[in-house]
Amino acid sequence: MQVSFVVNGKNQTLSAAPMKRLLDVLREDLNLTGTKEGCGEGECGACAVIMDGLLVLSCMVPLCQIQGKSITTIEGLADDANLHPLQHAFQENGGAQCGVCTPGMILAALYYLNNPDEAEDLREALAGNQCRCTGYTRIFKSVEAVGRNEF
Amino acid sequence: MHDQFETIGKSVHRKEGIPKVTGRAIYADDMRFDGCLYGRTVRSTVPHGTIKEIRFNPGFPWTEFTIVLPEDIPGKNGVTLIDSEQPFLVYREIQHLAEPIALIAHADRELLEKALYQIEVDVDELPAVFTMDAALERNDIFKSYLIEGDNVSDNWLDADVIIEETYGTGAQEHLYIEPQAVIATAIPGESVTIWGSMQCPFYVQKAVAPLFNLPRERIRVVQTETGGGFGGKEEYPNLIAGHAALLAWKSGRPVKMIYGRREDMWATTKRHPSRTHIKAGFKRDGTLVALDIDLVLDGGAYPTLSSVVLSRATLHAWGPYRCNCTRIRSRVVKTNSVPHGAFRGFGAPQAIFAIEMHMNRAAEALGMDPAEIRRRNFLRKGDRMPTGQVVKDELDLGCLMDRALELSNYRHKRSQYEQANRDRGQKRKGIGLSVFFHGSGFTGGGEVHLASEISLRLTEQGGVEVLAANVEYGQGTNTVFAQIVAEACKISPDLVRIHQPDTATVPDSGPTVASRTTMIVGKLIERAALELRHRLNKPEDFRSAASQYLRQHGTLVVSVRYEPPPDIYWDETTYRGDAYAAYSWSCDVAEVEVNLTDYGARVTNFVSTVECGRVLNPALAAAQIEGGIAQGIGFALYEDVVLERGAMKNNQFTNYIIPTTADTPDIHVEFVEFPYNNPGPYAAKGIGEMPIDGPAPAIASAVAHALGGRFINEVPLLPERIMRNIELGSDPLLYQSFGADPELRK
């Protein structure tokens, strides 16, 4: 099927199988490989992106659901000259280690900062994004610093 | 205290951090190749048996597929590691579930997935062994060690109290967030190139060369950005690299092998399950006078790295305590489980869990505080370990422990919680500690055999490029290497470039394992950088001196090779001598809350004091500790690998529980530095593995404290294990390969 949608502000139209995962559309058709596959079954959060303002797991979203949607991936956060404050904060505070959970984690943090009332606290907000390197301490520091407008 | 340094001791930002936070870093699965095929593995569905026939169902378009069977292997069908017992593809006898039998490749991933269901393997099943006891009965032992201290038998008579217990730890899954991933290309008959997620490019080269009967230099291995490893990408990539290369060799096209999460968890290595029996004699004042330890690991179906994992377990079994009457016997057995392998800590977490729990038991039996019984027995300068290794430098573990007790407010909380728990509420609180060490670098003569080499090269920008085989996989290698060069050459770390680990262009500086990268390889880099600066006549302005040198001479490369410290001696046959050139030391204090409604335990606060010599990058080092502690919390409370017929049954994120943000408490890390004659660069020691050693016993002793002295001898401390302890009032240790037999789980 053919679908039109917006990714990082750019219009896209492509044809593919209706059940093709958004994750594969991003990585294979659009070469946006910043979105990572950690489990492929909606459990780890590595493939999280923002779709029409909502945080979604791109491995769980089929192509047939993205008609007309606007999607933001990690590649859409920074412009050429400037990092997004969250990216800056993760770099300054050591929020990224191996880097595979990082794109999804940053997008989940962005969603939380934009929708602070939807979770009890930062711990709850990020609980769907698993990290095996950091013990989360420096991720919390990074997001909290942005919350205080330090970046 | 770091004022003497420009860069060392500073929290320099992660060198490859910007590509990682922007999503631009290229991992194996992000690479694109024209005409690329995807590879999949046909695996055994029985744990032990002989293959009668492999049937490809008719009516399926098999001619479109590349298929590799054992008879297609051009060279040796064995994964060269310490030995080469493990085949790339089963050719005689299936030894475990999920064992590779055949390989298939196709450009269409969906068709490839369907094809796996069109292949049938007829097998004559054979009886299989899943428990350590059954393996011991059959005398199926891969490796054993015996270490006897100076005075094995006499001291038992001096003991006022003798305590005997058995402890167990379960398997643990690495759960790196990036699954196993490699891509191979081949020119059949000539050469193979492999890109992949890995810790040890030269291990892959060494394993794959005999597979194709090629000299090693015809196998090029390039490490791509690696999304975590924790030991899970130490030896396993050898196997999957060989598989991708076989498919590329046969098809003449690039082949990508990316494991799905379920396959990754089902088929790859785990931490060795353990069972440790300890008998210890104490005087009434808490002095340890005699110690007898019997440690068993489940190695799984092939020897792989089990002998060295056992070695490290054996050499950490006595903990940081003095006892001249010590005997340690250790064995790793063969079962029909998926082979257990390298995992951060490498045997030490299992051994340290046992000795630290035993110290808590002894404290309880003698009516002492767990901190005070430890203090009475700490190793000090001049003491001898059971190997005969003498503690050469000042060692004040009391100071390290006291700082952790102070930071955690241990004494106050210990009595406060005891008092509060008397009210018999539904939520019980406890606080517990552990004190432990970890040897840096390869065991014994291992570093001499490795003979690691690195090179530094001047760059056109007047900076320095590091050529080494040690990889960045999240732990900070790139940044720390850059800091070491920057300090020695008196330049900015921004002027240091790290060459991508590539066997075609970097020297073999050994594997990225064993907490060796900073201490051992970092020292080589320091030596080479000092030499480089010397060759430029120690310029004030390195950059212009380097540019001038390059204009005159074209190039400048300095290479150095490992030289053992002069005062280190190790005898591999008697297992006596200096097992490690240096040890790092640590004390953990954990606070827990146990909910008696659902029997769940959670960690509410965690303090760790760490002595690892001079801390080269405090932020990166603390991040290593924090991440290790989170893994340790998982090992202690949540991570239950359910082995069913020797393979992981709960092979999904959804039913193998690692700590999330909601389960991870505030973690407070403080470094205490004793920078004496440490062999590392700027007196640094290893740090990567130690933080996984301490949390399990600290947490288990905190749980025991919360439950009024009820000890549970086995981790993970799942709610059902806590419930059983409370309901039955005893703790029969279920030490078999966990979950192998439903009867044992009762």
> Do the beta carbons of residue B559 and residue B528 sit within 8 Å?
yes
Question: Residue B611 corresponds to which tokens in the numbers above?
Answer: 């002595």
Q: Sheet containing B66-68: which strands, arranged edge to edge?
A: B66-68, B100-106, B37-43, B255-258, B181-187, B191-196, B219-223
State whether B21 and A133 contact (CB < 8 Å).
Answer: no
pLDDT score of B735 more than 70: no
Residue of A nearest to B666 (CA): A137
pLDDT score of B171 more than 50: yes
Distance CA B671, CA A51 (A): 43
pLDDT band at A81 (very low <50, low <70, confident <90, very high): confident
pLDDT tens digit sequence for B52-71: 999 999 999 999 999 999 99
| B42 burial level (CB within 10 Å; 0-12, 13-18, 19+) | buried
**For B404, phi and psi rounded to 5 degrees?**
-65, -40
> Do the beta carbons of residue B101 and residue B34 sit within 8 Å?
no
Residue of B nearest to A138 (CA): B623
Could you please report the per-residue DSSP string of A57-114? ETTS-BGGG-TT-EEE-GGGT--SS---HHHHHHHHHT--SSSSSHHHHHHHHHHHHH
Question: Residue B8 corresponds to which tokens in the numbers above?
Answer: 């060392």
Cβ density class B354-389: b for 16+ within 10 Å, e for less: bbbbbbbbbbbebebbbbebbbbbbbeeebebbbbb
Q: Would you say residue A89 lies in a domain? A: yes
Query: Smallest Cβ distance to A133: which of B19, B29, B474?
Result: B474
State whether B17 and A129 contact (CB < 8 Å).
Answer: no
Query: Smallest Cβ distance to A136: which of B226, B475, B630?
Result: B630
Q: In 3-state terms, what secondary structure has residue B348?
A: helix
| B59 burial level (CB within 10 Å; 0-12, 13-18, 19+) | exposed
Same domain, A13 and A63: yes
Question: Residue B74 corresponds to which tokens in the numbers above?
Answer: 């051009």
pLDDT tens digit sequence for B222-271: 999 999 999 999 999 999 999 999 999 999 999 999 999 999 999 999 99
pLDDT score of A71 more than 80: yes
Q: B232: which chain A residues are within 8 Å (Cβ-Cβ)?
A: none
State whether B227 and A36 contact (CB < 8 Å).
Answer: yes
DSSP state of A21: B
Q: Would you say residue A79 lies in a domain? A: no
Q: B628: which chain A residues are within 8 Å (Cβ-Cβ)?
A: 135
Cβ density class B155-192: b for 16+ within 10 Å, e for less: bbeebeeebebebbbbbbbbbbbbbbbbbbbbeeeebb
State whether B13 and A91 contact (CB < 8 Å).
Answer: yes
Q: What is the largest distance, in Å, between two alpha-carbon atoms of chain B?
A: 82
Residue of B nearest to A19 (CA): B110
State whether B227 and A131 contact (CB < 8 Å).
Answer: no
pLDDT tens digit sequence for B101-129: 999 999 999 999 999 999 999 999 999 99
Same domain, A102 and A64: no
State whether A100 and B27 contact (CB < 8 Å).
Answer: yes
Q: Would you say residue A34 lies in a domain? A: yes
Q: What does the pLDDT read at residue A96?
A: 98
Q: Would you say residue A13 lies in a domain? A: yes
CATH value at residue A32: 3.10.20.30
**Which residue type does B177 have?**
I
pLDDT score of B2 more than 70: no
Provide CB contacts within 8 A for B717, sequence distance 6+.
B601, B636, B637, B699, B700, B703
Same domain, A6 and A67: yes
State whether B627 and A31 contact (CB < 8 Å).
Answer: no
Q: DSSP E strands: which ranges in B224-286? A: 255-258, 274-282
Query: Smallest Cβ distance to A136: which of B27, B178, B661?
Result: B661
Query: Smallest Cβ distance to B653: which of A90, A97, A130?
Result: A130
Q: How many helices (H) and strands (E) does chain B have?
A: 18, 28
State whether A134 and B626 contact (CB < 8 Å).
Answer: yes
Closest CA to B623 of B584, B686, B669, B585: B669
Query: Smallest Cβ distance to A43: which of B11, B631, B653?
Result: B653
Same domain, A55 and A93: no
| β-pair partners for B438 | B584
Q: B22: which chain A residues are within 8 Å (Cβ-Cβ)?
A: 34, 74-75, 77-78, 83, 87
Q: Would you say residue A80 lies in a domain? A: no
| Percent of residues, chain A, with pLDDT higher than 90 | 98
Same domain, A41 and A95: no
For residues B448-470, average pLDDT? 97
Same domain, A19 and A56: yes
Rg (C-alpha) for chain B, rounded Å, is 26
> Do the beta carbons of residue B200 and residue B511 sit within 8 Å?
yes
Q: What does the pLDDT read at residue B475?
A: 97
Mutate one of B14, B22, B650, B689 to test the A interface: name it (highest A CB count within 10 A): B22
Q: What does the pLDDT read at residue B677?
A: 78
State whether B24 and A97 contact (CB < 8 Å).
Answer: no
Same domain, A102 and A61: no
Q: B260: which chain A residues are within 8 Å (Cβ-Cβ)?
A: 40
DSSP state of B179: P
Q: Would you say residue A16 lies in a domain? A: yes
Q: Domain boundary residue among A74, A99, A124?
A: A74
Distance CA A81, CA B233 (A): 35
Interhelix angle B522-535/B477-489, rounded to 10 degrees, is 30
For residues B672-683, average pLDDT? 86
Q: What does the pLDDT read at residue B734?
A: 38
- Is the preceding omega at residue B697 within 30 degrees of 0, hence cis? no
Query: Smallest Cβ distance to B225: which of A38, A91, A99?
Result: A99
pLDDT score of B367 more than 80: yes
CB contact residues (below 8 A), chain B span 374-433, against chain A? none
> Do the beta carbons of residue B536 and residue B546 sit within 8 Å?
yes
A132 has a chain B CB within 8 A of its CB: yes
CB contact residues (below 8 A), chain A span 22-51, against chain B? 27, 31-41, 43-44, 46
In angstroms, what CA-CA distances link B187 with B38, B461, B523? 18, 36, 38
**Which residue type does B466 have?**
V
Provide CB contacts within 8 A for B740, sequence distance 6+.
B130, B131, B643, B644, B645, B646
State whether B627 and A133 contact (CB < 8 Å).
Answer: yes
Mutate one of A136, A143, A151 to test the B interface: name it (highest B CB count within 10 A): A136
pLDDT score of B154 more than 90: no
Query: Smallest Cβ distance to B30: which of A33, A128, A139?
Result: A33
For residues B548-561, average pLDDT? 97
State whether A74 and B27 contact (CB < 8 Å).
Answer: no
Q: What does the pLDDT read at residue B742?
A: 36
pLDDT band at B743 (very low <50, low <70, confident <90, very high): very low
State whether A134 and B623 contact (CB < 8 Å).
Answer: yes
**For B53, phi and psi rounded to 5 degrees?**
-160, 145
**For B586, phi and psi rounded to 5 degrees?**
-155, 155
CB-facing half-sphere around the CA of B627: CA atoms within 13 A: 31
Same domain, A69 and A7: yes
Q: Domain boundary residue among A74, A97, A130?
A: A74
Q: What does the pLDDT read at residue B4?
A: 87
CATH numbers and ranges of domains, chain B: 17-26+446-561 (3.30.365.10), 31-127+175-267 (3.30.365.10), 274-443+576-745 (3.30.365.10)
Of residues B566 and B301, which shows the higher confidence score? B301
pLDDT score of B1 more than 60: no
pLDDT score of B15 more than 70: yes
Could you please report the per-residue DSSP string of B623-679? HHHHHHHHHHHIIIII----EETTEES--STTTS----TTT--EEEEEE----SS-S
Q: Would you say residue A12 lies in a domain? A: yes
Provide CB contacts within 8 A for A138, sequence distance 6+.
A93, A94, A95, B619, B623, B626
| β-pair partners for B257 | B182
pLDDT, mean over chain B: 95
As for how many domains chain A has, the answer is 2
State whether B662 and A75 contact (CB < 8 Å).
Answer: no
State whether B623 and A132 contact (CB < 8 Å).
Answer: no
The total of other beta-carbon atoms located within 10 Å of residue B542's CB is: 22
pLDDT score of B18 more than 90: yes
The total of other beta-carbon atoms located within 10 Å of residue A151's CB is: 18
**Which residue type does B258 have?**
I
In angstroms, what CA-CA distances link B410 with B400, B401, B588, B607, B694? 14, 11, 11, 10, 16
Q: DSSP E strands: which ranges in B126-272? A: 141-148, 161-169, 181-187, 191-196, 219-223, 255-258
Q: B24: which chain A residues are within 8 Å (Cβ-Cβ)?
A: 34, 75
CB contact residues (below 8 A), chain B span 586-645, against chain A? 619-620, 623, 626-631
Question: Residue A7 corresponds to which tokens in the numbers above?
Answer: 């990714």
Query: Smallest Cβ distance to B652: which of A43, A91, A123?
Result: A43
Strand A48-51 with A70-72, pairing: antiparallel
pLDDT tens digit sequence for B316-358: 999 999 998 999 999 999 999 999 999 999 999 999 999 999 9
Compute the nearest-CA separation of A124 from chain B (Å).
6
> Do the beta carbons of residue B103 and residue B112 sit within 8 Å?
no
CB contact residues (below 8 A), chain B span 638-657, against chain A? 652-654
Query: Smallest Cβ distance to B177: which of A44, A123, A126?
Result: A44
**For B141, phi and psi rounded to 5 degrees?**
-115, 125
Strand B464-467 with B496-498, pairing: parallel
Distance CA B297, CA B300 (A): 9
pLDDT band at B733 (very low <50, low <70, confident <90, very high): very low
Same domain, A8 and A68: yes
State whether A33 and B227 contact (CB < 8 Å).
Answer: no
pLDDT band at B675 (very low <50, low <70, confident <90, very high): low
For residues A63-74, average pLDDT? 98
DSSP state of A27: I
Question: Residue B543 corresponds to which tokens in the numbers above?
Answer: 């950059």
Compute the nearest-CA separation of A144 from chain B (Å).
14
pLDDT band at B3 (very low <50, low <70, confident <90, very high): low
State whether A74 and B22 contact (CB < 8 Å).
Answer: yes
Strand B119-125 with B647-648, pairing: unpaired
Same domain, A56 and A92: no
pLDDT score of B744 more than 50: no
B198 has a chain A CB within 8 A of its CB: no
Full domain range(s) for residue A54: 2-74
State whether A33 and B175 contact (CB < 8 Å).
Answer: no
pLDDT band at B729 (very low <50, low <70, confident <90, very high): low
In angstroms, what CA-CA distances link B214 with B189, B190, B501? 8, 8, 21
Same domain, A118 and A96: yes
Q: A32: which chain B residues are within 8 Å (Cβ-Cβ)?
A: 23
pLDDT tens digit sequence for B373-412: 999 999 999 999 999 999 998 999 999 999 999 999 999 9
pLDDT score of B678 more than 90: no
CATH value at residue A107: 1.10.150.120
Strand B49-56 with B93-94, pairing: antiparallel
CB contact residues (below 8 A), chain B span 201-240, against chain A? 225-228, 230
State whether B14 and A94 contact (CB < 8 Å).
Answer: yes
B209-223, B512-526, B725-739: segment of lowest average pLDDT: B725-739
B260 has a chain A CB within 8 A of its CB: yes
pLDDT score of B663 more than 90: yes
Closest CA to B202 of B25, B31, B29, B81: B81
pLDDT band at B564 (very low <50, low <70, confident <90, very high): confident
Same domain, A68 and A20: yes
Could you please report the per-residue DSSP string of B707-743? TTS----EES--HHHHHHHHHHSS-----SSTTSSGG
